[in-house]
Structure 1
Amino acid sequence: MVHNARKANIFTYAKFNVAALLSLAYSIRGKECSCDETQRPKSGSLNWVIFISFEDGVEWVFRSPRRSFGLQKPTASEVLMSEVATMKCLREMGKIPVPEVFSYW
């Protein structure tokens, strides 16, 4: 019973397909990866995040909008696309270290 309560932590803010997420990460990077389903997502004002670990020690962050703030899906998508464009622009033009975006939708 305790195991089930811990396993639910990853789904604090949303239900999603962990296997599909890991498959996407593998297809992008070509390395085996895992996700601790007992982790409690970190959260900020508009987003929640979980971590994916690769076999070579690299960690990726999976970030998704929190719907609890009433952000409608189209608006959340527009905000996400704007953030990705801003990060790509900063990465290409600036000297500020910016995380690389591998996939979004």
Structure 2
Amino acid sequence: MNVATRNIEAIEKRLWSAADNPRANSNYASNEYFMPVMGLVFLRHAYSRYLSVKEQIEPKLPSRGGKTRDLTKEDFSQQSAIYLRPKAQFDTLVALPDSADRK
């Protein structure tokens, strides 16, 4: 078994363990926590893609008078990525206190 296969198996094991945690520690059925969990998985993926594309876009942004143009949704859509406003980024949402509104 090669290293990549072992890494994938380790990741799968961690994911199944993480999925078991909500079932074991709550009274919720899987269909009640499925959407929030999948939403977080999607947001994490979108945020990773956002960061990767941002690194590619920023050096190419036009400047005028020493001021660089701000990033736009179009910059990201041209790269098949989603533009995430700062308050919608994964790290920002995860850092919010439990009492905060995440809508």
State the TM bucket, normalised to the shorter chain.
0.3 to 0.5
Q: With structure 1 as the length reference, what TM-score do the two structures score? A: 0.32
Q: With structure 2 as the length reference, what TM-score do the two structures score? A: 0.33
Tell which structure's C-alpha radius of gyration is larger: 2
